[in-house]
Structure 1
């Protein structure tokens, strides 16, 4: 997958999550305002938003671009908390290279 399509894939997942949390009675007001700003300021966001992706996936894999460690692939799991709209998101290393990178990151953080 090239950089552009990977970027769009990650953006689609993020937008689907935002759409899921800006709908209905439990809509997050701040998230709604952010979505409105992004609709006006980002062609990519506006185009993907118009496709109406909705996902409330409680688990999956995501990629982060860390400035020192490069790309990290992490698994995540979302746990609903008792207060409506609050979630605990836990990330874990998806593979050995991510585990090594996270170990290095914890070493760098301890040195600060």
Structure 2
């Protein structure tokens, strides 16, 4: 049962990461040149995540990984807020804090460490 709960939380963490990328794209949609920013901004966020925040990040370290995660999620929430989606910004912030907090529980961390 613990394993099922753990993988469910990790799935929600992945969904949270996808939502953060979408939030940055929404902000890009509100700006000019729309056609470029709607793709470029999420790509930049994904690249930062890949390089510094993912579990196998080549440049992620003890302090770097959590810092980049906080920055990416904070910018995603701010992007939604600035795009006029205040309710969704707050919802994303709460969801991000809850699922990433749950992912830090020892029973769930062990699933990540096993991989």
Relative contact order, higher structure (CA 8 A, sep 6+): 2
User: Whose radius of gyration is greater, 1 or 2?
Assistant: 1
Q: Structure 1-normalised TM-score?
A: 0.29
Which structure shows the higher helix fraction? 2
Q: Structure 2-normalised TM-score?
A: 0.29
